[in-house]
Amino acid sequence: MKRDTVVSFDVSRHLKARKLEQEVENRTAYTIDTAELNIYETQHIAEKVELTFSSPVLASMIRGKKVMHLPGTPSFDFLPGESVIVPGDETMRIDFPEAQALNPTQCLALAIAPDKVRQVTDLLNDRAPLVDTQQGWQFGHHNFFLTNDVPIHQLIARLVYIFTENNRAKEVFANLVIQELVVRLMQTQARTLLLTPETAFANVNRLAHVAQYINKHLHRSLQIKELADEACMSEPNFYRTFKQTFGMTPVEYINQQRLALASQLLRTTSRSLEDISMECGFNNLTYFMKLFRREIGSSPTQYRKQILPS
């Protein structure tokens, strides 16, 4: 999800009911047996505010800006449209450089019971085990920062709605959404770890090797059989394993990488759209322009005008 088109979570129902009892990290908690949704609000500048959960937690920004300090991780700005997974019993130290009463900083933190996490990871490890990865699926073992994609944004928004709604079936609804959210977050983490070009895993993981192979050959046609051969798998097994592991098909990944390269070329060169289209492996200019608009939100020409100074 692009930063300039980020849609915040709707917390209007929460804001009508919540009580402001403190100006820094005022907390409202919504609890079910397997999880707790906390919504925090800070109304003035503060530094090094500490926050610790006993369970793995997904923190997502709603409004404003934080600076996050996590053990073993360089400090980073935390903005709407972004999330971070933090292990249980790990202390977050947080700065609020811009918070004020008329423009409060708001963030949510979803703490998920370890038993619920284990249930989901055990299910995935049984039904869709990771290839060439001894530890299997894991959630909340390490810090992981991500930009929310559309499905993850929608799932978090759905949980906000469910937790703040007065519905007798809240537990049922929430557990179904949490299960999908945990799976998608683990797929996103696996994708980030293994599908990064030049990843260190390319020599030991077949899917990481295929990702590197794709990125080296974006300029030409790539067939599933060719990629399956690189992974030493049958076509059906390769296709199924890739999609289960990373939450997208090989074709979707190829198009994602081609559009990323096209965006880079539009930002950094004055090459024609035809040249860029061919360089990125799109043999049909019309299809390239249609796909770019659908995924990026503007035409290649508009994107270049928005990025480059006039």
Q: 174 and 278, same structural domain? A: no
Q: 212 and 103, same structural domain? A: no
The pLDDT score that the predictor gives to residue 36 is 97
User: pLDDT tens digit string along 246-290?
Assistant: 999 999 999 999 999 999 999 999 999 999 999 999 989 999 999
* CA-closest candidate to residue 143, choices 96, 93, 108: 93
Domain boundary among 166, 193, 220: 193
CATH code of the domain in which 127 resides: 2.60.120.280
Distance of CA 85 to the CA centre of its chain: 10
Q: 179 and 162, same structural domain? A: yes
Q: 200 and 173, same structural domain? A: no
Q: 106 and 96, same structural domain? A: yes
Q: What is the CA radius of gyration of the chain?
A: 21
CA–CA separation, 204 vs 99, rounded Å? 46
Q: 234 and 255, same structural domain? A: yes
Domain boundary among 136, 171, 193: 193
Q: In what order do the strands lie in the sheet with 73-78?
A: 46-51, 92-96, 66-70, 73-78
Residue for token digits 């505010």? 49
Question: Which residues of the chain, if any, have pLDDT below 50?
Answer: 1-5
Domain boundary among 193, 213, 231: 193
CA distances from 293 to 150, 289, 290 (A): 16, 6, 5
Query: Taking the CB of residue 107, how many other CB atoms lie within 10 A of it?
Result: 23
Q: 219 and 116, same structural domain? A: no
Which residue range is the domain that position 70 belongs to?
3-193
Number of domains within the chain: 2
The pLDDT score that the predictor gives to residue 3 is 42
Residue for token digits 């009892």? 21
Q: 203 and 181, same structural domain? A: no
Residue for token digits 């899917």? 207
Are 143 and 86 in contact by the 8 Å Cβ rule? The answer is yes
